[in-house]
Amino acid sequence: MGGLTDTLFISASGMKSQGARMRVLAENVANANSLAKTPEGEPYRRKIITFENQMNEELGVHQVKVEDIDRDQGDFPQKYRPDHPAANQEGYVKVPNVKPLVEMADMKEAQRSYEANLKVIEASRQMVRGTLGLLR
């Protein structure tokens, strides 16, 4: 039954990582309109999460872990808004480098991955119950 319990731990680490990914994506979407207050300031900078494959020595299995959460160093788009306090001399304001459509697509992918790991856990639990039932 060690294989089944290992599967539970592997899937749980996947769920935890995808949950962290969804939180980062939600923060990006929530701040997609967060502008600077002055022309010298910067608007919200998109966050990017990366994962790593890490060996769990205790269990002897590979698990996914969050490696890092960085800021996207891409350029800020600009919009013409001469009335905004953060507008430069030409009337342009730097806007966040967040593309809500991309974030929502990534969130859908993270949700599917989370759900797939959940189904693996449910199937493993049923197999453990079946095994225990046979042993009675």
Q: Express each pLDDT in 62-116 by its tens digit.
A: 899 999 999 999 999 999 999 999 999 999 999 999 999 999 999 999 999 999 9
With cut-offs at 50, 70 and 90, classify the pLDDT of residue 2: low
> Token pair for residue 102?
């991309």
* Structure confidence at residue 1 (pLDDT): 47
Distance separating alpha carbons of residues 85 and 116, to the nearest angstrom: 46
**Nearest partner of 25 among 69, 63, 56, judged by Cα:** 69
- Bridge partners (DSSP) of residue 100 are none
Q: What is the pLDDT of residues 42-69, one digit of tens each?
A: 999 999 999 999 988 887 888 999 999 9
Q: Span 18-25, mean pLDDT?
A: 97
**pTM value?**
0.85
